[in-house]
Amino acid sequence: MKIRLLNYELELLPEKGVYWSQHHTLFVADTHFGKEATFRFHNIPVPEGSTNGTLRAITRMVRQTNAESLVILGDMFHARSSLSTKTHQQLLGFRQQHPQLKIKLVLGNHDRPLGTLPASWEVDVVPMGEFADGLAIGHEPDNIPKHVALMLCGHIHPAVRLISVVDRINRLPCFWWHKKRLILPAIGGFTGCSTIKPTPTDGVWVIAEGKVIAYPRRK
Protein backbone atom coordinates (compact mmCIF):
# COMPACT_ATOMS: atom_id res chain seq x y z
CA MET A 1 0.00 0.00 0.00
CA LYS A 2 1.39 3.40 -0.99
CA ILE A 3 0.80 6.24 1.44
CA ARG A 4 1.82 9.86 1.70
CA LEU A 5 2.93 11.25 5.06
CA LEU A 6 3.71 14.95 4.91
CA ASN A 7 5.87 15.18 1.76
CA TYR A 8 7.08 11.59 1.85
CA GLU A 9 5.71 8.89 -0.44
CA LEU A 10 6.23 5.51 1.19
CA GLU A 11 5.12 1.98 0.43
CA LEU A 12 3.96 -0.24 3.29
CA LEU A 13 4.66 -3.89 2.54
CA PRO A 14 2.76 -6.88 3.99
CA GLU A 15 6.09 -8.48 4.91
CA LYS A 16 6.33 -5.63 7.50
CA GLY A 17 8.76 -3.36 5.70
CA VAL A 18 8.61 0.20 4.38
CA TYR A 19 10.05 1.08 0.98
CA TRP A 20 11.09 4.61 0.06
CA SER A 21 11.43 4.56 -3.72
CA GLN A 22 12.98 8.03 -3.91
CA HIS A 23 16.07 6.66 -2.19
CA HIS A 24 15.72 2.97 -3.23
CA THR A 25 15.76 2.04 0.45
CA LEU A 26 13.94 -0.68 2.38
CA PHE A 27 13.39 -0.20 6.13
CA VAL A 28 12.63 -2.99 8.61
CA ALA A 29 12.56 -3.07 12.40
CA ASP A 30 13.17 -5.57 15.18
CA THR A 31 14.48 -8.57 13.26
CA HIS A 32 15.66 -10.24 16.49
CA PHE A 33 17.81 -12.68 14.54
CA GLY A 34 18.82 -15.75 16.51
CA LYS A 35 16.16 -15.37 19.18
CA GLU A 36 15.40 -19.09 18.99
CA ALA A 37 19.10 -19.76 19.72
CA THR A 38 18.82 -17.66 22.87
CA PHE A 39 15.82 -19.64 24.10
CA ARG A 40 17.58 -22.92 23.41
CA PHE A 41 20.70 -21.62 25.18
CA HIS A 42 18.52 -21.27 28.28
CA ASN A 43 17.10 -24.79 27.79
CA ILE A 44 13.71 -23.54 26.59
CA PRO A 45 12.56 -25.79 23.71
CA VAL A 46 11.26 -23.70 20.82
CA PRO A 47 10.95 -24.42 17.07
CA GLU A 48 13.82 -23.44 14.82
CA GLY A 49 13.44 -21.48 11.61
CA SER A 50 12.39 -17.98 12.66
CA THR A 51 15.66 -16.39 11.51
CA ASN A 52 15.47 -18.05 8.10
CA GLY A 53 11.82 -17.01 7.80
CA THR A 54 12.69 -13.40 8.55
CA LEU A 55 15.55 -13.43 6.05
CA ARG A 56 13.26 -14.89 3.39
CA ALA A 57 10.75 -12.10 3.99
CA ILE A 58 13.47 -9.48 3.60
CA THR A 59 14.71 -11.17 0.42
CA ARG A 60 11.19 -11.07 -1.06
CA MET A 61 10.95 -7.34 -0.36
CA VAL A 62 14.41 -6.60 -1.74
CA ARG A 63 13.60 -8.44 -4.97
CA GLN A 64 10.11 -7.00 -5.25
CA THR A 65 11.27 -3.40 -4.85
CA ASN A 66 14.78 -3.67 -6.32
CA ALA A 67 16.01 -1.93 -3.18
CA GLU A 68 19.63 -0.85 -3.19
CA SER A 69 19.83 -0.27 0.58
CA LEU A 70 18.44 -2.00 3.66
CA VAL A 71 18.11 -0.12 6.95
CA ILE A 72 17.43 -2.14 10.11
CA LEU A 73 15.83 0.10 12.72
CA GLY A 74 17.28 -1.56 15.78
CA ASP A 75 17.21 -4.88 17.61
CA MET A 76 18.88 -6.80 14.82
CA PHE A 77 19.67 -9.44 17.45
CA HIS A 78 17.99 -10.51 20.65
CA ALA A 79 20.99 -11.22 22.91
CA ARG A 80 24.64 -12.22 22.84
CA SER A 81 23.59 -15.87 22.84
CA SER A 82 21.71 -15.18 19.58
CA LEU A 83 25.05 -14.94 17.77
CA SER A 84 25.31 -18.70 17.35
CA THR A 85 27.30 -20.44 14.63
CA LYS A 86 24.05 -21.20 12.81
CA THR A 87 22.89 -17.59 12.96
CA HIS A 88 26.27 -16.47 11.63
CA GLN A 89 25.98 -18.89 8.71
CA GLN A 90 22.42 -17.78 7.94
CA LEU A 91 23.39 -14.11 7.81
CA LEU A 92 26.48 -14.85 5.77
CA GLY A 93 24.28 -16.72 3.30
CA PHE A 94 21.94 -13.72 3.08
CA ARG A 95 24.88 -11.40 2.43
CA GLN A 96 26.12 -13.71 -0.35
CA GLN A 97 22.65 -13.64 -1.91
CA HIS A 98 22.71 -9.82 -1.93
CA PRO A 99 26.34 -8.78 -2.40
CA GLN A 100 25.46 -5.32 -3.74
CA LEU A 101 22.92 -4.47 -1.04
CA LYS A 102 24.03 -1.74 1.36
CA ILE A 103 23.00 -2.67 4.90
CA LYS A 104 22.82 -0.16 7.73
CA LEU A 105 21.90 -0.77 11.37
CA VAL A 106 20.68 1.70 13.97
CA LEU A 107 21.52 0.06 17.27
CA GLY A 108 18.56 -0.96 19.41
CA ASN A 109 18.46 -1.71 23.12
CA HIS A 110 19.12 -5.41 22.44
CA ASP A 111 22.05 -4.68 20.11
CA ARG A 112 24.08 -2.27 22.21
CA PRO A 113 25.70 -4.87 24.52
CA LEU A 114 26.81 -7.13 21.65
CA GLY A 115 29.98 -5.41 20.52
CA THR A 116 31.39 -5.44 16.99
CA LEU A 117 29.56 -7.47 14.35
CA PRO A 118 31.47 -9.80 12.00
CA ALA A 119 33.04 -7.87 9.12
CA SER A 120 31.87 -10.53 6.63
CA TRP A 121 28.27 -9.39 7.09
CA GLU A 122 29.17 -5.91 5.80
CA VAL A 123 26.71 -4.12 8.10
CA ASP A 124 27.41 -0.45 8.76
CA VAL A 125 26.33 0.71 12.21
CA VAL A 126 24.97 4.25 11.95
CA PRO A 127 23.69 6.67 14.61
CA MET A 128 20.07 7.64 14.92
CA GLY A 129 19.25 10.91 13.23
CA GLU A 130 18.54 12.32 9.80
CA PHE A 131 18.72 9.82 6.96
CA ALA A 132 17.77 11.99 3.98
CA ASP A 133 15.53 14.95 3.11
CA GLY A 134 14.48 15.59 6.70
CA LEU A 135 13.46 11.96 7.33
CA ALA A 136 15.15 10.47 10.39
CA ILE A 137 15.80 6.91 11.51
CA GLY A 138 15.95 5.54 15.04
CA HIS A 139 14.90 2.67 17.26
CA GLU A 140 13.02 3.96 20.30
CA PRO A 141 10.12 6.29 19.41
CA ASP A 142 10.83 8.47 22.45
CA ASN A 143 14.13 9.66 21.06
CA ILE A 144 13.22 11.91 18.15
CA PRO A 145 15.24 14.92 17.02
CA LYS A 146 13.17 18.09 17.26
CA HIS A 147 14.05 19.39 13.80
CA VAL A 148 12.98 16.33 11.75
CA ALA A 149 9.67 16.10 9.94
CA LEU A 150 9.26 12.33 10.20
CA MET A 151 11.10 9.51 11.94
CA LEU A 152 10.93 5.81 11.09
CA CYS A 153 11.46 3.61 14.14
CA GLY A 154 10.52 0.36 15.85
CA HIS A 155 10.86 -1.00 19.40
CA ILE A 156 7.14 -0.98 20.22
CA HIS A 157 6.07 -3.98 18.07
CA PRO A 158 2.68 -2.28 17.52
CA ALA A 159 -0.54 -4.23 17.00
CA VAL A 160 -4.28 -3.59 17.22
CA ARG A 161 -7.12 -5.84 18.29
CA LEU A 162 -10.10 -5.92 15.96
CA ILE A 163 -13.52 -6.37 17.53
CA SER A 164 -16.85 -6.60 15.73
CA VAL A 165 -20.40 -7.37 16.85
CA VAL A 166 -19.88 -11.09 16.37
CA ASP A 167 -16.13 -11.61 16.44
CA ARG A 168 -13.10 -10.77 18.54
CA ILE A 169 -10.02 -11.15 16.35
CA ASN A 170 -6.58 -11.66 17.78
CA ARG A 171 -4.11 -8.82 17.63
CA LEU A 172 -2.86 -7.87 14.18
CA PRO A 173 0.55 -6.26 13.63
CA CYS A 174 0.39 -2.74 12.25
CA PHE A 175 2.22 0.34 11.07
CA TRP A 176 1.45 3.25 13.41
CA TRP A 177 1.73 6.93 12.45
CA HIS A 178 1.85 8.89 15.71
CA LYS A 179 3.31 12.33 16.48
CA LYS A 180 5.86 12.58 13.66
CA ARG A 181 6.76 8.91 13.98
CA LEU A 182 5.98 5.99 11.71
CA ILE A 183 6.50 2.98 13.97
CA LEU A 184 7.06 -0.27 12.09
CA PRO A 185 5.80 -3.68 13.19
CA ALA A 186 8.45 -6.17 14.28
CA ILE A 187 9.51 -8.24 11.29
CA GLY A 188 11.13 -10.92 13.44
CA GLY A 189 9.26 -14.18 13.14
CA PHE A 190 9.61 -15.02 16.82
CA THR A 191 8.59 -11.77 18.48
CA GLY A 192 5.57 -10.66 20.45
CA CYS A 193 3.56 -7.51 19.95
CA SER A 194 2.08 -4.70 22.03
CA THR A 195 -1.50 -3.50 21.67
CA ILE A 196 -1.65 0.22 20.92
CA LYS A 197 -4.43 2.73 21.56
CA PRO A 198 -4.37 5.08 18.56
CA THR A 199 -5.87 8.54 18.81
CA PRO A 200 -8.27 9.93 16.18
CA THR A 201 -5.41 11.85 14.56
CA ASP A 202 -3.14 8.80 14.24
CA GLY A 203 -2.79 6.64 11.17
CA VAL A 204 -2.88 2.86 11.47
CA TRP A 205 -2.43 0.22 8.77
CA VAL A 206 -2.87 -3.42 9.77
CA ILE A 207 -1.39 -6.50 8.15
CA ALA A 208 -3.91 -9.27 7.54
CA GLU A 209 -3.98 -12.18 5.10
CA GLY A 210 -0.97 -10.94 3.20
CA LYS A 211 -2.31 -7.43 2.72
CA VAL A 212 -1.86 -3.98 4.27
CA ILE A 213 -5.24 -2.49 5.16
CA ALA A 214 -6.07 0.96 6.48
CA TYR A 215 -7.50 0.76 9.99
CA PRO A 216 -10.60 2.95 10.41
CA ARG A 217 -10.04 6.01 12.57
CA ARG A 218 -12.16 6.31 15.67
CA LYS A 219 -14.04 9.55 16.22
Q: Is residue 18 part of a domain?
A: yes
Asked if residue 108 belongs to a domain, the reply is: yes
What is the Cα–Cα distance from 184 to 157, expressed in whole angstroms?
Answer: 7
Evaluate whether 94 touches 120 at the Cβ level (below 8 Å). no
Q: Looking at residue 118, which CATH number applies to its domain?
A: 3.60.21
Average pLDDT value for residue range 175-179: 95
Question: Does the pLDDT value for residue 45 go beyond 50?
Answer: no
Is 219 domain-assigned?
A: no
Q: What is the mean pLDDT of residues 87-99?
A: 93
Domain assignment of residue 66, yes or no: yes
- Render pLDDT for 54-72 as a digit per residue (tens, 0 to 9): 999 999 999 999 999 999 9
- Residue 155 domain-assigned (yes or no): yes
40: pLDDT strictly greater than 60:
no
Backbone dihedral angles phi then psi of residue 172, each to the nearest 5 degrees: -115, 135
Give 105-131 pLDDT, tens digit per residue: 999 987 787 778 889 989 999 999 999
Quote the pTM value: 0.90
Instruction: Quote the domain boundaries for residue 71.
Output: 2-214
pLDDT band for position 169 (cuts 50, 70, 90)? low
pLDDT of residue 44: 42
Position 34 scores a pLDDT of: 78
Alpha carbon separation from 101 to 26, 67, 96, 104, 139 (Å, rounded)? 10, 8, 10, 10, 21
For residue 41, the model assigns a pLDDT of 43
- Counted domains in the chain: 1
184-193 pLDDT, tens per residue? 999 987 677 8
